[in-house]
Structure 1
């Protein structure tokens, strides 16, 4: 984890931009303090529950990076009243009008960023949709604060190869630069140009015009990111410790006490070149066992097999032996657990236990 953080920090320092880490991956105050620039932030969250937890821990500079619903504005105002600078994200005039109205009624200008659609992956305003950008910007100006523009290159998760990833990163950068130019030419302030995804953060070669980069899963990495090509399996800093509880030798199965309740049901590698099942199996030190995966998972049982067609050999694991399972998606696997047991390198000595929180709102 420390190596992963240092790697991205050095990269972004060299490109002259600020890291605004997305804390949805760890959902842990202890982990957050190791990745943020200061104890007060900056930070990104995906739920207002996260915002509340981190504000209580002293974080003050936060972007709530999911499209704002008007019903959530009282929570935003309550957090701002506690001294936290929380900005919201939106991509419609209706949302902008709601934010402006709530700001006028509260006597507090809520900052908002206009979400830009850089690749058709999900939500946002196309960067060349001048009229919509200006309508949203002017609606915000009637009571709220236009903080800037923000985008997320979600399409980068499907990219393969360094050149394709660099193109995603440049498309991401160009989208916010172009959108900001439209707003500025109309006399609307646009101080923040925020981009970010773990693949593009590690692939960008030019971030001219960008003020900050958001990324989250880089803290732990996972098998999906390894499949994309932005990390190696050895970089994955999160694993689930499981115990062998049985065998079905005629089927080539080893049973462990970690099913989808421990690993999650995320099968994000299924569409990649190498399907990693529900996770890659490692020995107790974290060294991957050749072609050994959790091929299937029930609620509390994981079924370990040799990857089909690999020619691998099932190891001789006895009842009670322990293995580590690397996750497809670190965010989803982490969400199954109440805390992280922190170890260093191949040691099995737990140095600390970091609480994490779950839930959604």
Structure 2
């Protein structure tokens, strides 16, 4: 970690606006506190130890990861309470065991009988009682088993009777990203809550333990009005937010804490284009807003100070070149508007995907100083 200033950074560079990030962290923690549940942030968005430290300092209990390499890295940085929230593949059980043997309180998940049997068989062979949560499908978005399926109880019995610790149930309402009104998000938050609680109650009704009931996505976490029966809330992208979350309706552009600093390197004057050095290798190929109410191209163009320039988008991207243009009528004198050497900031469609393009973040404090924070990569 070292300090510098914004004008000394090479471009493209991933910037974190620290006052915005801290405000976002406080907002989500206050929501969890108000709903009476523990908050376990998903750190896959940032994969950055100083960001996770800020979340824990604000009141978070443990973290959620999407890779075991993340678990390794955060455990090395002193975080012990870690939930690996991707279905456990059998070939990763050796890695999970090694983490637990080193003192990491690692929790794993499954949503199938085959997965449960593999965990239980491996655990018995190695004398390890893995703590396992069962993933519940409450919205048909991705993984999990439905709360009413017979397989839920079968999986629970395989884990419990096989000597594992049945830690509870969890769900993720990923379809919330497709919504854009508070009422629709609140309804999905209730569907998420009710489905996960139903699964927990079914396990308990047959004498199986279910201490943890874990729910969450950034939109449903922020729009939930009650979490009766839930013990834990999870969310990730809220810490930075992005243009997809803006379109969903849970943040403003001035809440978006991640941007890409870029430099104007040329023009196509007849087309009204400014060419910048942030292409899809910097922004990612994520075009998540293309199917939403407002299409931001590859990102919203802002001044170097982070003020959005209405109507100006990163409208195209090659590997190392980005195209800045104005929606509607082309910029008549683009070279005057954006001279070569001008620095701009681009707000991303998807903070997780854009962050993943960079090995480090540059954390910009309110006083203009910049700290460089490493970011974890790989699996």
TM-score class, shorter-chain normalisation, is over 0.9
Does residue 216 (structure 1) correspond to residue 255 (structure 2)? The answer is no
Which residue does the alignment assign to 2:188? 168
Q: 1:298-340, CA deviations, whole angstroms, 9 ceiling, x for partnerless residues?
A: 0000001112479999670110010000010001111111111
Aligned pair partner of 2:373 in 328, 346, 354 = 354
How large is the Cα RMSD of the aligned pairs? 1.7
- For 1:32, the equivalent position in structure 2 comes to 52
Identify the match of residue 134 of structure 1 among 149, 153, 159.
153
Q: Distance in 1 between matches of 2:298 and 2:373?
A: 24
1:305-324 matches, cutoff 5 A = 305-308=325-328, 316-324=337-345
Distance 1:51 1:225 in 2: 26
TM-superposed CA distance for 1:348, in Å, is 4.1
In the alignment, is residue 233 of structure 1 matched against residue 253 of structure 2? Answer: yes
Counterpart of 1:328?
349
Could you tell me which of 15, 21, 24 is aligned with 2:41? 21
Distance 1:313 1:184, change over 3 A: farther
Q: TM-score, normalised by structure 2?
A: 0.91
2:360–2:374: 8 Å Cα contact kept in structure 1?
Answer: yes
Q: Aligned in 2, Cα 1:311/1:184: closer, same or farther, shift over 3 Å? A: farther
Cα distance, 1:281–1:105 mapped onto 2, change above 3 Å:
same
| Distance verdict in 2 for CA 1:310–1:160, change over 3 Å | farther
5+ long unaligned stretches in structure 2: 1-20
Residues 164-189 of structure 1: CA distance to partner in whole angstroms, max 9, x if unpaired?
A: 00011001100111000100000000
Report matched runs for 1:30-69 at 5 Å.
30-36=50-56, 41-69=61-89
Equivalent in the alignment of 1:79: 99
Q: Write the distance in 2 (CA, Å) between the matches of 1:6 and 1:313.
A: 43
Match of 1:12 in 2: 32
- Contact 1:193 / 1:212 at 8 angstroms: preserved in 2? yes
Give the Å deviation of 1:342.
1.0
TM-score (norm 1): 0.96
Deviations 1:14-35 (A, max 9, x none): 1101110001011011111001
CA distance in 1, matches of 2:355, 2:301: 17
Alignment of 1:282-297 (within 5 A): 282-297=302-317
Distance 1:307 1:45 in 2: 38
- The structure with higher relative contact order (CA 8 Å, sep 6+) is 2
Residue 156 of structure 1: SS of its match in structure 2? helix
Q: How far apart, in 2, do the equivalents of 1:18 and 1:62 lie?
A: 14
Unaligned runs of 5+ in 1: none
Q: Structure 1: how far apart are the matches of 2:170 and 2:109?
A: 8
Give the conservation status (yes or no) of the 8 Å contact 2:85–2:108: yes
The 1:38/1:95 distance shift into structure 2, 3 A limit, reads farther
Q: Is the 8 A contact 1:40 1:61 kept in 2?
A: no
